[in-house]
Amino acid sequence: MRGPELLAPAGSPEALRAAVENGADAVYLGWGGFNARRGAKNFSDGEFAEALAYCRVRGVRVFLTLNILLTDRELPAALEAARTASRLGVDAVLLQDWGLLDLLRQALPDLPLHASTQMSVFTSGAAREAAEDGCERVVIARECSAEDTAAIIQNCPAEIEIFGHGALCMCYSGQCAMSALIGGRSGNRGRCAQPCRLPYGVNEAAGDRRPLSLKDNCLAGHLGEMAAMGVSCLKLEGRMKRPEYVAAVTGVYARLLEENRKPTAEERDILERAFSRSGFTDGYWRGRRGPDLFGFRPEDAAPAPPSGLSKAGRRVPVAFTALVRAGVPCSLSLDDGLGNHVAVTGPVPEPAGSRPLTLADLTARLEKTGGTPYLCVMDENSRVDPGLYLSAAAVNALRRDALDALSAARAAAPPRRECFPPPPLPETGCSADTPRFTVSVTTAAQLSGELLALHPARVLVPLEVLAALSALPEGETEWCAIMPRVWRDRDEPQLKTWLDHAKFLGVTGAMAGNIGHLPLLCDSGLYIYGDYGLNVFNSRSLDYLRKKGLRSACVSFELRFSQIRDLRKLLPAEALVYGRLPLMITENCLVRNSGPCRCDRPNVLRDRTGAAFPLLPAYGHRTEIQNDRPLWLADLPDYRCLGLRYARLRFTTESPGECVQVFRDYLEGRPARGEFTRGLCKRGVE
């Protein structure tokens, strides 16, 4: 074994061929409208079927990306796409949507599923949860270090895939709403407009700095380390890139894995000339943060043709058995060692004249398989009787017919997989005529007596804020801990200690915004409620969380009112109706990257229009970027008629007095007092 499987991007048929010809073990591609790179060329129906046959002949696996959030109306078409792909022999499907995962596990139980990085998996518990739900492979977050990766591999039965080369998103994948809220193009729907690559200023006007633009990842120097810890697959990013890029990058990594070495200066030059942003970084893998990880590519930069590129020439080993006997047709049989065995016959050999055919001559002719995907070796059972003659044309025809037959056998789809009708959803529902208000706070100061006197149904408080309290304020409400959005395995002992303290204070529930929260909370004795980070986009996602034991779930704030209304409320549903919506959760502290760290004071990110996006400190010295204006729906009666059980007021930068005033305004249905946004409740997202 040369180590991890090398998985290359195939944004087009041309890129697919480039990946295969340069040594990829597997490719991932989009077909149809349900993948996270909907802007790539992708594949037509005919091209998709041809791609599967082409790759099967060459021993390359094909993974289909269905890794976006899906509405109820889209789920049937996504299921049909997966059903067709399964019938055609796709090797696995990558998923983000919990509802689609649950649906495919029941309707197509034999179809291998991979948890996309869009699922935001960065702990062992999250990876195990995905594995228990039927994912045979989990793609972990790009932000995971070597230490994080090793811990997940040791504690998860599923295969672990990592991103080894290519673009790094500033936000944890699956948690970014910046493109959606600014321009209506959702990264969770495969339409990201990449606002992170634009200029911004941290606590100053936007100039030429790009504090959200990370360099491209390059882990070419760490392949041996990955192999030793048991990484199953190394993914190369780039479905939006040209075939030349795919060829260059795949070729370099294939050679490094094959030869078990680090890249030469020439190979590093090939990678950089193919594409880079101010060079590369391996900072996350090494557990580092900071400004050295950041860089950008000028808009007028043209890709330079890579130098020193040569195709790895992926070849499939095949054993030949040739028999040339007097008085009977010659024969040639091929075996690829994977159960594919073919045999063909040719003419009866003639008596030789001056130069009879030898086994060495025949071997040399048959092993000339240039232009084919095969590397042929003569079997020891081959025989050539003495004194016989077989023309070169006859030998060539024999070889050609045998290879064509083998290709046809290898291209055939695998045995039929089981396929069942989509299971019906339960008939029960949890709709409410009018939602009750819940409030989430960011600071302890916002927990005023006046706020609690307005009788919120629930009060949601960050776990780290609860950890600093000696008692909860007086108030008739249900107290819930908001779990940190991002953490690591090594943080879990501290989080469990804080949970015990929260229970001591009187907290009875916890908000889970990541699938990894579920195993962390399963023995806590707290009610578990789903937060917006779980990206609930359809009724089957609600059913999935219901079966997980959750008591309610907050739906995605990228849904329109009509889409929320049409959800089958299989769990009590909640929606955000007020507040600055979170645009990003980042591994880096943006304030510390730009100068002295002053996270205990107000900080903002400014764009080129002067809009100010508050920066809130997040657990683990990370940053959560908030929208520049709060969502305001108080004067829109529509949100009260969607069947929601709860409507959340999300307080972030508001003073205690402002929190109270907003709550009162919502109770009375008043219009906004300042600048605001209606969010995506009317226009939705692409």
- DSSP, res 214: B
Please give the distance of CA 220 from its chain centroid, rounded to a whole number. Answer: 21
Assign 416 a pLDDT band (cuts: 50, 70, 90).
confident
Where does 535-675 show beta strands of DSSP type E? 552-554, 573-579, 582-586, 604-606, 612-618, 622-626, 631-632, 646-650
Extract the tokens encoding 91. 């090797």
Would you state the pLDDT for residue 458? 98
578 phi/psi in degrees, rounded to 5: -145, 150
Residue 218 β-bridge partners: 165
Q: How far apart are alpha carbons 502 and 268 in whole angstroms?
A: 51
Please write the tens of the pLDDT for every residue from 577-608: 999 999 999 999 999 999 888 888 999 999 99
- Over residues 358-385, mean pLDDT: 92
- DSSP, res 349: P
Would you state the pLDDT for residue 301? 65
Residue with tokens 């997202």: 685
Ordered DSSP codes for 8-25: EE-SSHHHHHHHHHTT-S
Assign 1 a pLDDT band (cuts: 50, 70, 90).
very low
User: What's the whole-model pTM score?
Assistant: 0.94
Residues 251/21, Cβ–Cβ less than 8 Å: no
Assign 36 a pLDDT band (cuts: 50, 70, 90).
low
Q: Is the pLDDT of residue 237 over 60?
A: yes
Extract the tokens encoding 475. 């108030």
- DSSP, res 250: H
Would you state the pLDDT for residue 38? 63
Collapse the DSSP code of 577 into the 3-class scheme (helix H, G, I; strand E, B; otherwise coil) and give the result. Answer: strand
Q: How far apart are alpha carbons 651 and 666 in whole angstroms?
A: 13
Residues 278/297, Cβ–Cβ less than 8 Å: yes
Residue type, 586: T
Would you state the pLDDT for residue 45? 87
* Largest pairwise CA distance in the chain: 110
Please write the tens of the pLDDT for every residue from 262-318: 999 999 999 999 988 888 999 999 999 999 999 988 766 666 655 545 665 678 999
Please write the tens of the pLDDT for every residue from 552-580: 999 999 999 999 999 999 999 999 999 99
H or E stretch including 52?
A: helix 45-57
Please write the tens of the pLDDT for every residue from 448-467: 999 999 999 999 999 999 99
Residue 177 β-bridge partners: none
What is each CA distance from 335 to 191, 321, 363, 369, in whole angstroms? 45, 9, 16, 15
What is each CA distance from 17 to 14, 50, 141, 305, 459, in whole angstroms? 5, 11, 28, 18, 55
Please write the tens of the pLDDT for every residue from 422-458: 999 999 889 999 999 999 999 999 999 999 999 999 9
Collapse the DSSP code of 574 into the 3-class scheme (helix H, G, I; strand E, B; otherwise coil) and give the result. Answer: strand
- Over residues 506-533, mean pLDDT: 97
Would you state the pLDDT for residue 308? 47
User: 154, 119, 151, 150: which is closest to 134 by C-alpha?
Assistant: 119
First-residue to last-residue Cα distance in the chain: 43
Percent of the chain scoring above 90 in pLDDT? 87
> Cβ of 535: how many Cβ atoms within 10 Å?
25
- Over residues 512-521, mean pLDDT: 98
Query: Which positions ≥6 away from 407 have C-beta within 8 Å?
Result: 57, 373
Would you state the pLDDT for residue 684? 87
Average pLDDT taken over every residue of the chain: 94
Would you state the pLDDT for residue 42? 76
H or E stretch including 605?
A: strand 604-606
- Of 77-91, 360-374, 659-673, the range with the lowest mean pLDDT is 360-374
H or E stretch including 541?
A: helix 539-547
